[in-house]
Every structure is written in structure tokens, then in C-alpha cells.
Amino acid sequence: MTISWMEIVIISLASFRLTRLIVFDKITEFLRAPFFEEEIEVNQDGQEEVYYVPKKGIYTNFMGELLSCYWCTGIWSTLAICIFYFGWPAYATPILIILAVAGIAAIIETIVQRLL
């Protein structure tokens, strides 16, 4: 089986966006919440900062560590995307294109925000 450069680009961008969605986005906070405890600290300026620390326990700690690590989650989300794409390409393609375009949009938005 061969894979084209375009497929690699689409899978890469889709993986990037799915990983960010899982690890950082507010919309998926409910997925992360069972595995983290909030710790609030006051910084030197007197402002409160919230830190998310993985909960104790074998499973909850493992999942908390996994969900707080962009690189770790990226590997697993890429694996899921590849299995989905190669197993059911007709269903996966539209979803991956949506994620890839959203990934490009996120990159462009980051660039624009830094330029302003």
C-alpha cells in the first residue's frame, strides 16, 4: 500500500487538530475533567493561576498524564486516524478533511494573532 503526499499532509493536519482538540480545547474539557484536579496558586502579582494536576490512582493518573501531554496524545490520535482512514476511507475522508482545514485555520489564526 502506498500513500500519497497529499494524504500525508491531510492526515498530519487532521492529527494536529484532533490532538489540540483533545488536549487544549474547552469543548472537550468534559473528557479531561475526570482525570484532573484543579490547584489554584497565587502568583507574585497577586493573581490566581489554575493548574491541572493528574489525579492519584493507576488509571486516572495514567490518563491524566496522557491527556496533559501533547506529544503522547498526538501519537494515539494519529494511530486512531490512520486506522479509521485505512479501514473505512469513505467515512474517514470527509472527517479528516474537516479536521485538516480546521488545523490550517488554527495555524493561520495563530500567525495573524502574533502579527497584530
Whole-prediction pTM:
0.84
Look at residue 72 and tell me if it is in a domain: yes
Beta bridge partner(s), residue 54:
36
**Residue 46 Ramachandran class (φ > 0 left, ψ -120 to 50 alpha, else beta):** left
Look at residue 116 and tell me if it is in a domain: no
Number of domains in the chain: 1
**Domain encompassing residue 98:** 5-111
Look at residue 40 and tell me if it is in a domain: yes
Each residue's pLDDT tens digit, 21-78 = 999 999 999 999 999 998 888 888 888 888 889 999 999 999 999 998 999 999 999 9
Look at residue 66 and tell me if it is in a domain: yes
Look at residue 79 and tell me if it is in a domain: yes
Look at residue 70 and tell me if it is in a domain: yes
Sorted by sequence, the CB contacts under 8 Å of residue 10 that are 6+ apart come out as 96, 97, 100
CA distance 57 to 64: 10
